[in-house]
Structure 1
Amino acid sequence: MEEIFPYQALDVDLYELTMAAGYFHHNYNPTVTFELYVRKLPDTRNYLIAAGIEQAVKYINSLRFSSEEVNYIKSLPVMKDVKPEFFEYLQNYKFSGDIFGLKEGELVFAKEPILQIQASLIEAQILETFLLTTINFQTAVASKASRVVQAAQSDGKDRTILEFGSRRAHGPEAGVLAARAAYIAGCAGTSNVLAGYRYGIPLYGTAAHSWTLAFDSELDAFKKYSEVFPNSSIYLIDTFNTLEGAKRAAQTGYKVFGVRIDSGDLELSSKEVRKILDSNGMNDTIIILSGDLNEYKIENLIDKETPVDSFGVGTQLATSEDAPSLSVVYKLVEVEKNNRHLYRAKICPGKIMYPGKKQIYREVKENNFVKDLIVLNGEKGAQGNKLLIQYVKNGEVIYSFPTLDEIRHYVRKNLQKLPDRFLSLDKKADYKVEFSDKLKTLLSDIETNN
C-alpha cells in the first residue's frame, strides 16, 4: 500500500518558509548540501539503527504545494510583503536535486550523516522539519526495539518480541511508524492492523480483559473465544487470579495456542502457570508476558530462568521511553558558488560541526566492525566499506528500496559484527568514529577566520 501524506507541504516550521521567501527575494538560490545527523548518542545507547529513510525519500519525491496550501501561506501576516512570484514558485515546487544516505537499518553513531540533501537552497531548506521528525522518531524506536530483542534472547533462546505500543504512541500515525521501526529492528510483529496492511508486518493479538468481563464466567469467555478461533486462541488469564485462570484454560476442551499474563509477579506466575499447563498435557501452549516491560525487566526475567516464549512490549517501545528523542540536526555544510565549493560549519561551543559534504568508511576486521572514518566527499585513500549511497538523482528516485524483511536481515547481520561491549544494556561504550585530517583542517580554517 502506498503511503499518503495529506497536506504534506504544510508540515514545515514557519521559518523554513520565511527563509525560502528571503532567498527568493534576493534571487539567492545556489546549490547547497545539507546533512542530517545525530549530535550525540543518548547515555543509554551505544549505537543507533537508521530508520525512516524510505519515508523521507518518498516524501521529498512527492512533495508538491497545492493551490489551497499556497493560498494559506500567502494569507499569513508575516507573508504580506513577500513578492507574488514567490507563491508562484511554491505552486510549481518539485524537488530536482540529489539525495544520499545510509541504507535503512545501518548502524549509525554520533556525527555520522544519515541523509545528505544536495539541491538548490530553497528546495533543500523547505525539507528540514519533515526529515528531522521522520528520522528522529523511527531511528529512536528501532534502536530501542533492538535492545529489547537483545534482552529477550540474552540466554541464546529465540524468544520473540511483539510490538503492542499503538495505544500509548504519540498519535495514530506514530503508532504505525513505531510498528515499522520495531519490526525492522527485530520484533516479530505488531498488534497494529494498519501497519500490517500498509507494510505487510505480521499481526499478533489476544483479547482484552473486557472480553473476559463481558461473559458470566472466565471459563465461558475462554470457550467462546476458542469457538471462533479454534486454532489460534491465546487466553488472557490474569483478569481475576492468574493461576486459576491457567487451570480454567486447561478445562476448555480446546487446543490452547497460548496464554498471556499481563500483571503481578511475572516470574513466579509464569513458573506456576508452566507447571499447570504441563501437568495438563499442554506442553506446547506458549506463555506470553506483557505489562510495562522494557529491556531491563526482560533481561531480569531471563536471568531468573522464567519460562516464557514471547514478550508483548508496548509503551516503553513505541515511545522509546528512556530516550524519546535524539539530538538530530539538519545543517548546511557546503555552498557551491561560481564553480567553487564553499565549506560551512557552526562553531559555537557544544554544537561544533564539520564542514563539507562527506562520506563514511567502515573498517571491518575478522567480521567485526572496528571503526568509522568520516572524510570529505571525494577524498582518496580511505579504507573500508562506503556507507553513503545515492537514492535520488536530479529529482528522480534511482534506488530500489528493499523489503522490510530484507532490512531486518541487514540489521541482524550488522549487529552480529558489532563487538559485544557495544551490545551491553547497561555499560556505556563509545564506538570509534574519526574525522579525516582534511576535514579537521577545513574546520580549523573556519574557526580561525570567524
Structure 2
Amino acid sequence: MPDTALSLTSQDYSLLTDLYQLTMAACYVGEGIAEKRASFELFTRRLPEGFGYMVAMGLAQAIDYLEQFSFTSEQIAALQATGIFANVPDRFWEVLASGRFTGDVWAVPEGTVVFANEPILRIEAPLWQAQIVETCLLNILNYQSLIATKAARMRDIAGSATLLEFGTRRAFGPQASLFAARAALAAGFDATSNVLAAIQLGQKPSGTMAHALVMALAALEGTEDEAFQAFHRYFPGATLLIDTYDAIAAAERLADRAQQEKLSLRAVRLDSGDLVSQSQHIRQLLPNTPIVASGDLDEFEIDRLQTAGAQIDSYGIGTKLVTGKPINGVYKLVEIDGIPVMKASEGKATYPGRKQIFRHLEAGELKGDRLGLITESPSRHEQPLLQPILKQGQRSAPADSLETIADRALTSLHTLPDRIRRIHDPESVSPEISVELERLTEAVKRQGSREQGAGERGG
C-alpha cells in the first residue's frame, strides 16, 4: 500500500486509537485484570470560552463504532510487526482476535443541552475494552458536540431564516465534513451542500453556484447575463450568485428581465461586500426574491446583520461553523471492579463512582442540574438524563431519527433562560453535587491519602 493511502473504512476504526490505549490493554492482560468491570465517563471540564451550554451530539456514530469493534488478523499482524509489543503475553493477541464490545453504555440522548462536568456518556465494560475505545469516542463526540452547539447558537440567533451548511471544504478532513453536516442538521440547520452527507442521511442537498461558472461562461459565451441564462437552462429558477462583478448592476438587470420575461428566480446569493446595504438595495429591486448571504458568517455576524437591518432570508455558513475552539472532552475511569476511583490532580480532579444527571425543570424552564450517583432517585421536578443505550453490547432501543434529534435540540434549547442562551457574555450552569456524591468523594480522597502514605512508608 502506498504511504499516501490514508483511507478509512469501518473495519479500520479499531486501530483508530492512540498507542497507549493498546499498550495499557496489553498490560491489563498481562496482570490478569483485563476482564475486570470498569466504568469510564466522558465529559468536558469546561465549555469553550463564550459558550453558556453544550449540545450533546455524535452518539449514533459512537454506538455504530462500538457495535463494529473488532480486530482482524491483518490488523493484529500489523501491530505485531511494529515490534512494540514484543514482550506482551500471547494471551493479548488472543483477546484482540476474539474481542468484541460486550459492555453497557449509558448516554444523554443526542440534542440534549448539557454543561461542564456532566457526563454525556458512560462505558461499563471489561477494562481492556473500555480503555481501547476512549480515543475514538472522544473524537466522535467532541467534534459533533462542538458543531451542534455552534449550529444551535446560530439557529437561535437566525430565527426563522434558512440556515445552510457549507463547511465541507474547511472541515478537518473528509470524515469530519460528514460529521459536521450531520451535527448541523441535527441542531437546527435546514440543509447541507455536502452531497454524500445529505444522501446518506436521507436529505436533499442544497447549493447554488460558484464565481467560476460565471467567469468561465462570461468569458467564453459573452456576458454575465448569458452565464445566468445558461445555468437556468439546466437548473430552471436556481439561485444565482450575483456578486462576481457588480451585485447591484446584476440585480438591476435581473429585475428588468423579471418584468419583461416573467423570470422565475428562486433566490440570489451574495458572498462579499457590504451585505447590509447590498441586501437592502436588492430587496427594492427584487422584492419577491429571497436573498442568500455567505462568506465567513457566524452567530455574531448574523446578529450584527439583523441588528443593522440587512434584508437576508438565508445564510450559508461554512468555515466558522466547522472550525473553532474545541470541546475539551475527557474520558475518565470512575469505578473498577466495583471500587469507586477518582483523579486528584490539581485542576483536573474528578468525581468518583457511576453518576447520573438529574435535571430540574419547572413550567418548561431549566432551574438547575444535580450531579449524583446512579443509585440515587430523582426528586420532584427532576428527570434523569443518562439513559441505557447498549446492554452487553446490544442496543436497548433503535437509534433516533435526525428529525427526532433536531426536535429534541430545539426543545432543550428553549428550556434555557436567556442569560444562558445569549451569545454575548452568557452565563452557564454548574451542577449541584449531591450529598451522597460529596460523601463518596471525601471517602475516596481519604482512602487515596492512606494508600499514598503507605506507599511512601514502604518506599
* Smaller-chain TM-score bracket: over 0.9
Q: Which residue of the other structure, out of 321, 332, 356, is the alignment partner of 1:359?
A: 356
Per the TM alignment, residue 359 of structure 1 is displaced from its structure 2 partner at its CA by 1.1
Q: Does 1:8 align with 2:17?
A: no
Q: Which residue of the other structure, out of 304, 308, 311, is the alignment partner of 1:300?
A: 304
The letter of the residue matching 2:241 is: L
TM-score relative to the length of structure 1? 0.93
Per the TM alignment, residue 4 of structure 1 is displaced from its structure 2 partner at its CA by 5.3
Distance in 2 separating the partners of 1:100 and 1:4: 26
| Cα offsets for 1:241-261 (capped at 9, x unmatched) | 110111233345431110000
Q: Does 1:289 align with 2:293?
A: yes
| Cα offsets for 1:93-149 (capped at 9, x unmatched) | 101111110001111111111110001100110100000000000000000111111
Distance in 2 separating the partners of 1:251 and 1:118: 67
Q: Which residue of the other structure, out of 146, 158, 161, is the alignment partner of 1:159?
A: 161
Q: Does 1:19 align with 2:24?
A: yes
Please list every run of 5 or more consecutive structure 1 residues that lacks an aligned counterpart in the other structure: none
User: Does the 8 Å contact 2:148/2:187 carry over to 1?
Assistant: yes
The letter of the residue matching 1:274 is: R
Distance in 2 separating the partners of 1:11 and 1:206: 36
| Cα offsets for 1:300-325 (capped at 9, x unmatched) | 11011211110001100011x2x2x1
The letter of the residue matching 1:125 is: Q
Distance in 2 separating the partners of 1:79 and 1:264: 58
**Secondary structure of 1:117 counterpart:** strand
The letter of the residue matching 2:233 is: E
**Secondary structure of 2:331 counterpart:** strand
Q: Does 1:258 align with 2:267?
A: yes
Distance in 1 separating the partners of 2:291 and 2:266: 9
Structure-1 residue corresponding to 2:172: 170
Per the TM alignment, residue 328 of structure 1 is displaced from its structure 2 partner at its CA by 0.5
Q: Which residue of the other structure, out of 47, 69, 73, is the alignment partner of 1:41?
A: 47
Please list every run of 5 or more consecutive structure 2 residues that lacks an aligned counterpart in the other structure: 1-7, 450-459
User: Does the 8 Å contact 2:291/2:314 carry over to 1?
Assistant: yes
User: Does the 8 Å contact 2:358/2:378 carry over to 1?
Assistant: no
Rate the CA distance shift 1:186–1:439 in 2: closer, same or farther, 3 A: same
The letter of the residue matching 1:111 is: N
Distance in 2 separating the partners of 1:275 and 1:128: 55
Per the TM alignment, residue 382 of structure 1 is displaced from its structure 2 partner at its CA by 3.5
Structure-2 residue corresponding to 1:107: 113
Distance in 2 separating the partners of 1:218 and 1:12: 51
| Cα offsets for 1:362-396 (capped at 9, x unmatched) | 01112101111111111246440111111111111
Distance in 1 separating the partners of 2:128 and 2:187: 34
Per the TM alignment, residue 77 of structure 1 is displaced from its structure 2 partner at its CA by 2.1
Query: Alignment length, in residue pairs?
Result: 431
Distance in 2 separating the partners of 1:289 and 1:152: 12
User: Does the 8 Å contact 1:180/1:201 carry over to 2?
Assistant: no
Structure-1 residue corresponding to 2:283: 274
Distance in 2 separating the partners of 1:227 and 1:6: 44
Distance in 1 separating the partners of 2:251 and 2:216: 19
Distance in 2 separating the partners of 1:248 and 1:88: 73
**Secondary structure of 2:76 counterpart:** helix
Q: Which residue of the other structure, out of 392, 395, 412, is the alignment partner of 1:394?
A: 392
Per the TM alignment, residue 332 of structure 1 is displaced from its structure 2 partner at its CA by 0.4
User: Does the 8 Å contact 1:235/1:249 carry over to 2?
Assistant: no
Per the TM alignment, residue 197 of structure 1 is displaced from its structure 2 partner at its CA by 1.0
Structure-2 residue corresponding to 1:86: 92
- Paired residues for 1:49-448 under 5 Å: 49-153=55-159, 158-215=160-217, 216-230=222-236, 232-252=237-257, 253=261, 254-278=263-287, 283=288, 285-319=289-323, 321=324, 323=325, 325-336=326-337, 341-380=338-377, 382-383=379-380, 384-448=382-446
Distance in 2 separating the partners of 1:11 and 1:378: 34
The letter of the residue matching 1:243 is: I
TM-score relative to the length of structure 2? 0.92
The letter of the residue matching 1:441 is: R
The letter of the residue matching 1:175 is: S
**Secondary structure of 1:94 counterpart:** coil
Distance in 2 separating the partners of 1:448 and 1:348: 15
User: Does the 8 Å contact 2:335/2:353 carry over to 1?
Assistant: yes
Distance in 2 separating the partners of 1:151 and 1:443: 40
User: Does the 8 Å contact 1:169/1:315 carry over to 2?
Assistant: yes
Segments ≥4 residues shifted beyond 6 Å: none
**Secondary structure of 1:183 counterpart:** helix
Distance in 2 separating the partners of 1:89 and 1:364: 46
**Secondary structure of 1:77 counterpart:** coil
Per the TM alignment, residue 81 of structure 1 is displaced from its structure 2 partner at its CA by 1.2
Per the TM alignment, residue 333 of structure 1 is displaced from its structure 2 partner at its CA by 0.1
Distance in 2 separating the partners of 1:110 and 1:317: 21
Per the TM alignment, residue 88 of structure 1 is displaced from its structure 2 partner at its CA by 1.8
User: Does the 8 Å contact 1:369/1:417 carry over to 2?
Assistant: yes
Per the TM alignment, residue 446 of structure 1 is displaced from its structure 2 partner at its CA by 2.4
The letter of the residue matching 2:252 is: K
Distance in 2 separating the partners of 1:69 and 1:4: 13
| Cα offsets for 1:401-447 (capped at 9, x unmatched) | 11101111111111111111111101230224111111111211222
| Cα offsets for 1:167-220 (capped at 9, x unmatched) | 111111111110000011101110000111111233210000011011121100
User: Does the 8 Å contact 1:188/1:202 carry over to 2?
Assistant: no
Indicate the larger mover: 412-421 or 113-122: 412-421
User: Does the 8 Å contact 1:43/1:428 carry over to 2?
Assistant: no
| Cα offsets for 1:316-342 (capped at 9, x unmatched) | 0011x2x2x111000000012xxxx21
User: Does the 8 Å contact 2:116/2:430 carry over to 1?
Assistant: no
Distance in 2 separating the partners of 1:310 and 1:150: 14
Distance in 1 separating the partners of 2:376 and 2:281: 63
User: Does the 8 Å contact 1:370/1:432 carry over to 2?
Assistant: no
